[in-house]
Chain A
Amino acid sequence: MSPLPGYAHGRLVPGSGLRLEMTAAGYVELHCHSYFSLLDGASSPEALVERAVALGYPALALTDHNGLYGAVRFWRAAQEHGLKAIIGAEVSVNSEEHLTLLAETQSGYANLCRLVSTGQLAGQKGQPRLTVETLARHAQGILCLSGCRQGAVPRALLERNMERAHRAAAQLREAFGPDRFWIEIQRHYLPTDTRLTAALTSLARKLDIGLVATNNVHYASRSGQRLHDVLTCVRHHATLPEALGAGLLHPNSEQFLKSPVEMAALYPDLPEAMRNTLHIAERCEVSLDFTAQRLPAFPVPGGHTPGSYLRHLCEQGLARRFNPITPRARAQLVHELAVIERMGLAGYFLVVWDIVRFAREQGIRCQGRGSAANSLVAYLLDITPVDPLRHNLLFERFLSEGTHTTPDIDVDFAADRREEVIQYVYERYGKEHVGMVCNVVTYRARSAVRDVAKALAFPPDVIDRAAKALDTRSATEAAEDVSSDPLVPSDPEDPSLPWQLLSSILRQMGGVPRHLSIHVGGMLITAAPLVEVVPLERATMPDRVVVQWDKDSVEDAGLIKIDLLSLRTLGVVTEALAHIRAQRGLDLDPAEADVRSLVPSSPFSQGLNNLSLDDPAVFDLLQRADTVGCFQVESRAQAQMLPKLQPTRFEDIVVGVALIRPGPIQGGMVHPYLRRRQGLESATYAHPNLEQALAETLGVIVFQEQVLRVAMVIAGFTPAEADGLRRAMGRSRSEEAMAALRQRFLDGARGNGVNETAAEEIWQQLAGFVGFGFCKSHAAAFALVAYQTLYLKAYFPAEYYCALLNHQPMGFYPPEVLIGDARQHSVPALHPDVNCSQAACTLERVSPPDQRQAQEHLSKQGILESPTGPGDLQRSREDLAIRLGLRYLHGLGEAGQERIVERRGDESFRGLRDFCRRTHLSRPVVENLIRAGALDSLGRSRRDLLWALGGLVYQEEDLDLDVPVAPVTLPALGRVERLAWEYELLGLSPDDQVVAPYREALRAAGLLTSVELAAKRDGETVQLAGWAVVRQRPPTAKGHVFITLEDEEGLTNLIVRPHVYERYRTVLRNAPLLWIEGRLQREGHAISVLVRRAAALSDLVRDHP
C-alpha cells in the first residue's frame, strides 16, 4: 500500500510525546477489541499493534469489554513499534448499553480504572453494572464515545425513539462535558447503516456534539472473521449453523483494522469524523509505567527511614547469624544495602520481612525461595534460609542495577495456614491497597479441539475421541495433529467432516484466553489505592478480589508482587517438631532467645534451623535412595538418580534437586552429569571459556543462571540480553521470543569464533531449559528443606511419618507406601481404633517388650526388618508406633469421626453393643469399621462382630432392645480377605502388605522379592510381583512408562518401553497387582527392571491357586 501524497504519520519521539500530521486521509482506530474481550475478540494486542503499524496508523486504542486485561501488553507492544497507545475500555452501562471510554490523562486513567472496577464489583461476576451517575462522578480526564449499535443513543434511534436518543446523548454530554463526548459513526455495509448514520448525524448537529468514525474492530484483518465467528459460537454454546440461524453472528467480515484509505472511502461525506480520530488521539497521553507506585509506604519506627531501619535489622541479623562477623559478610552487607538503597527497594524488603515475622510469630513455618536466596540481606532478615556466602551464590542474580527488572521474592508458607498470612496482608495495608494477581487461562490442545469442533458441528463422540487422542498440550500443535492422518477416522458414514477447517482454526487458538482465575498467592501491594492503577473484579472465591493483570503484565507495568505460596511440607515439619516436643521433651525449634539454652553436648543441640548440614545419617539415606516421604528427593526419578550421584555434601543435594527437572532432562544434562560424577567420563567443555561457569557442575548446565552465563560467554549476550533470555524462558509466550534469541545467539557465537555445530548444540541445551530450570539459590533453599526432612526421618521417624500421614494427600507416594516405609524403619502402624484413635494420626508408646513382640509378629508374617545402616547406632530403638487416625476410615466422614471421639470421652467402649448404643452410627458404617479392624480392640474376631451386629438393634431415640443370637463358630477370617477389606476401607493395611500372602507360592515359582533383586547381576532375567503404587508417563520420556512396584520388602522401579507398553497396555494400566518378567538393569547402586512381559497377578493366581 503506497502512502497517499501529503499523507504522513508521526513517529514516537522519546521524551517529547507524539506529533501527529493531520491530513484528510489520516485515521486512528478508537474502538478496538482484542481477545481480552473474552470470547468476543479474535486477535492478540500485539497482532493489532503490528497491523496498525503496517497500515500507517500513528496511534491505536484498545477498548476491551469492561476491562484493561490486555492494556499492558498492548502498551508495551505499541512502544516497541513506535505506535502511540490509547488506553480505553468499552463499558456496560445500565447492564446492557455499551459505551466507549478513552483515558485522556493519567488521572483520567485512574478514573477509568475506578469506573471499570465499580462496574465489575457492583454486579455479579461476569455481569458488570454501571450507571450514568457513577460515570459523571469519575468522568474527569476521560473521553467518551457514544458506542456501537448497542450504545444507548444508537439503539434508541434504531428503535425510532428520537426522544430517548436525545435524552441519552444529552445526559452523556452533560456528564463528560461538551469537549469530551463524541457520537460514533460506524459503517459496516449493513442495510440500516445509512438510516442510522443520518439520524446520528442529525442528532449530533442539533446537540452540537462532534462526530467520530470508528470501525468497532474485533479482529486485526479480514480473515479473523472466522475465528471471531467460532468464538461467538463458544460464547453462546452453539454450532455455527445454529448461531447463524439465531442471528448471533455478525452478518459480514467488515470489523477489521482498515487502512486510512479504506476508511476515507467509507466517509466521503463526513471528513470531520475522520479528522476527529486524529484530534482525539493527539489529546491522549497515558503511561503504564508504574515503577513509582510499586511500594506501599512501610511504617518505620520513629527516627528511621526505610533505609536506616533496614540497616538496623540487618545488623541484628548479622550478629545472630555470623559469630564472629567475618570481613566478607560485612563487606557483602555494605554492598547489598547500597544497591538496595540506590534502587529504592528498602521498603520492599521491609514489607516482606514484616510478613515473614508475622507468620513466625503465629507459629507458621515459612521460608523464601527462588532468586531471593542469593541475597545476604534476605538471609539476615530471616526471609531466606541459606547463607549465600557459604554456597557461593551471587547477589546480582537477584538484583542487578543494569537490568530494569523488578525483583521477585517468593515465600513458601505451611499450606494449612497460609490463608492467615494473606488475611494479615489485607489488614495491614488495607483492602484498597492489596490485590491478588490474576491468571489468564488460555486455550490448550484439548479445550481448543473441544470448543472449535463443537462449533463446527462435529458429532460429540468424534470430538471426544479426537480430544483424548491428542498427544500435545498446545493448541497450535494440536492443529498439526488434527490435520495428519492417524487422527482422521475413516468413517464411511461421515467422510465429510471438516478436519482441515478445524486444523486451520486451531492454528489461531494459541494464546487465546478462555477465562481468568486467581494466580496462586501472587499479591500486589501498592502505594496509591490499587483501584487507580489497575481495575479490580470479583474472583470466583467469595470475598476475594482480583486485579485484571496477570503476573507478566504486573511486572511489565513496573509493579512488584510478592508470591505467598504454600508448601505442605512446611506444615509436616511443624507437626513433626510438635510431636518431638511432646514425646521426647526436645525442642528443635526454640525461640531465638533459647537457642543457646540447648544442651551443647546433646546430639540435637543445633535445632532444626541451624543444622550443620553434614550429618552422615542423612547422606546414608540419600545414597541408598531410602528417601520415601522426603521433600524433593523421594520421586522415582530421584530414587534412580541418587545411588549414582552418591551425595556426600550438601552441595550434592543442591545439584540433585536441580537436576531432576524438565529443564535439565530435556536439555540432555542428567546422564552426562551422572556419568561424570561416577568417573565414567571426564568433564569436557564445549568451549574453554565455559569452564569457569560450569566447573562446579562438571561442565554440565544444571542451574538456570548457568544458562545465562553460557549465553554471555559464548554469544556475548549483555546482562540485559541475558535477562531477556531468562524472561523468555520463564514465560508461557516464549516461543517467538526464543526463535529471535536463537538467531542472536548463533550470530553472537559466530562472532566469537565458535564453530556452527558447536554453537547449535549449545543452543539446544539452553533451549531445552525453557522455563523449567531451577536457579541455584532456589535449589539450595529447597535442598535445605529436603535436608531437614531427611534429618527428621533419620532420627525421629515415628514423629515424622505421623506428621506426613496427617498432611495427605501430598508427595509422590500414597499413604500405603508411607506405612510400608515406616515399617521398614521399625515404626509400626496400628489400625485406626475406636478406643485409641483421634481423627488425626497420633503416636503411641509401645513398651519395648511389646515392640519386640510386635516385631517378631511381623517377622513371622514374612515382613522382614529393615537392614541396619551406620546411623542405627546413634538412633535409639524406636518405641513409638503410629496410631492411624479415624480420618483414614473411608466412608466415616468428619461428623462420624467427631462423634466417636466425643461419645468415647474418658470411657472406652466396652463392646459392640456399648459402641453402637453410645455412638448411634448407622449400621453400614459400623460394618465398615468392623471390617477395617477399627473394633479389633473389643476382643472379638471381625467375623464374630459382623455376626453380632446383625442381631443388634439400636436406634437414635427409641429404647434399645436385643434379639438373642445363637453363638456360631465362624471360620477365621483369612489373611487375604482381611487384606482385601483393609485395602478397600483404609487404602492400606497397617501391619501387612498385599503381596505377602502370596509369597510362598511366588517363591516356589521363582519370583524374587525387591530385596532379593538387589543381589542380582546386571543383565539377568528376573521375575517379580508387586502392587503398582505409581504409574508415570512423563512427557519428557518419549513414550516410556515408569511403574513403581511395592512388595512387603520395599519398592522396585520398572521401565516399560513404548512397544512393550502397547502390547500389555491394559494390564500395565489397570491391574493393581502385577507379575513382571524383565531384565535387571544395574548402574552402580541403582537398580531397575526393564519389562519384557507382564500379567495381572490375579489372573495367574486364579489359574494356579
Chain B
Amino acid sequence: MEIWGKEETPSGLVWQGVSHPVAESGIHWRVHTLWWEPGKAIWREYVKVATGTGLLCLLYRDMLMGGWFLARVYD
C-alpha cells in the first residue's frame, strides 16, 4: 500500500493493488498524546478522503516519522 502526493494533502493511494486518486478531502485534525510511553507516542494528522473510485478512507500523516498511512477504509 502506498500513498503519494503533497506533504499536506495526499492526492492518491494504492490499495489492494488498485490506484485510487483522491477526489475530495475533508477536514484535518491532529492528535498528539502518549508521549510518556516509550515507543508508543502518537502524533498524527488525520484526514478523511473520498476517492474517485468511490472509497471513503481515513488517512493519517505520522508527524514524528513522516509519511502517510491508511487508518481505515469505510464501507
A residues contacting B by CB (< 8 A) are 188-191, 193-194, 225-226, 229, 240, 244, 249, 251-254, 456, 496, 498, 501
Contact = CB atoms under 8 A, between A and B. Distances in A.
B43 to A, nearest CB: 7
A456 B36 contact: yes
Contact of A189 (B30, B35, B38): B30
Contacts of B38: 496, 498
A456 to B, nearest CB: 6
26 contacts: A189-B28, A189-B45, A190-B29, A191-B27, A191-B29, A193-B27, A193-B29, A194-B27, A225-B32, A226-B35, A226-B36, A240-B36, A251-B32, A251-B33, A252-B29, A252-B31, A252-B32, A252-B33, A252-B43, A253-B32, A254-B30, A456-B36, A496-B38, A498-B36, A498-B38, A501-B36
A839 B31 CA distance: 68
A713 to B, nearest CB: 53
B36 A252 contact: no
Contacts of B35: 225-226, 229
A760 to B, nearest CB: 42
Contacts of A191: 27, 29
B14 interface: no
Given A189-B45, A498-B38, A249 B33 contact: yes
B46 to A, nearest CB: 8
A229 B30 CA distance: 16
B30 to A, nearest CB: 4
B34 interface: yes
A226 B29 CA distance: 19
Interface in B4-33: 27-33
Interface of B: 27-36, 38, 43, 45
Contacts of B33: 244, 249, 251-252
Contacts of A193: 27, 29
A951 B26 CA distance: 93
Q: Is the interface of B mostly helix, strand, loop or mixed?
A: strand
Q: For the complex of A and B, list the 7 residue pairs with the smallest distance between their C-beta atoms, beginning with the closest.
A: A189-B30, A252-B32, A253-B32, A252-B30, A191-B29, A194-B27, A189-B29
A391 to B, nearest CB: 60
Nearest to A498: B36
Nearest to A223: B35
Contacts of B30: 188-189, 251-254
Nearest to A456: B36
Nearest to A265: B8
A91 to B, nearest CB: 29
Contacts of A229: 35
Contacts of A244: 33-34
B31 A251 contact: yes
B33 to A, nearest CB: 6
A226 B32 CA distance: 10
B42 to A, nearest CB: 10
A598 B38 CA distance: 82
Contacts of A254: 30, 32
A488 to B, nearest CB: 16
A191 B36 CA distance: 24
A1000 to B, nearest CB: 66
Nearest to B42: A252
Given A225-B35, A249-B33, A252-B30, 10 more contacts: A189-B30, A226-B35, A226-B36, A251-B31, A251-B33, A252-B31, A252-B32, A252-B33, A456-B36, A501-B36
A859 B29 CA distance: 89
A591 to B, nearest CB: 70
A3 to B, nearest CB: 22
A657 to B, nearest CB: 51
Contacts of A240: 36
Nearest to A505: B36
A195 to B, nearest CB: 9
A160 to B, nearest CB: 18
Nearest to A253: B32
A501 B33 CA distance: 15
Nearest to B27: A194
Nearest to A240: B36
B24 to A, nearest CB: 14
A21 to B, nearest CB: 29
A226 B43 CA distance: 13
Contacts of A190: 29
A369 B33 CA distance: 54
Nearest to B36: A240
A225 B31 CA distance: 12
Residue among A189, A254, A498 with most chain B CB within 10 A: A189
Nearest to A226: B35
B71 to A, nearest CB: 14
Nearest to A254: B30
Contacts of B31: 251-252
Nearest to A188: B30
Nearest to B44: A252
Contacts of A194: 27
A194 B29 CA distance: 10
B72 to A, nearest CB: 14
Nearest to A190: B29
Contacts of B32: 225, 251-254
Nearest to B45: A189
Contacts of A252: 29-33, 43
A194 to B, nearest CB: 5
A252 B45 CA distance: 10
A226 to B, nearest CB: 6
Nearest to B28: A189
Contacts of B45: 189
A230 to B, nearest CB: 9
Contacts of A249: 33
A113 B31 CA distance: 38
A498 to B, nearest CB: 7
Contacts of A226: 35-36
B49 to A, nearest CB: 15
Contacts of B27: 191, 193-194
Contacts of B28: 189
A501 B31 CA distance: 21
B6 to A, nearest CB: 14
Contacts of A501: 36
A193 B43 CA distance: 18
A189 B32 CA distance: 11
Contacts of A251: 30-33
Contacts of A498: 36, 38
B28 to A, nearest CB: 6
Residue among B33, B34, B38 with most chain A CB within 10 A: B33
A703 B33 CA distance: 53
A253 B43 contact: yes
Contacts of B34: 244
Contacts of A456: 36
Contacts of A253: 30, 32, 43
A859 B73 CA distance: 100
A249 B34 CA distance: 11
A253 B43 CA distance: 9
A146 to B, nearest CB: 22
Contacts of B29: 189-191, 193, 252
A229 B38 CA distance: 16
A501 B32 CA distance: 17
A254 B31 CA distance: 9
Nearest to B30: A189
A942 B28 CA distance: 87
A252 B44 CA distance: 9
A729 B6 CA distance: 55
A240 B38 CA distance: 14
Nearest to B34: A244
Residue among A194, A229, A249, A252 with most chain B CB within 10 A: A252
B67 to A, nearest CB: 18
A190 B28 CA distance: 8
Residue among B27, B32, B45 with most chain A CB within 10 A: B32
Contacts of B36: 226, 240, 456, 498, 501
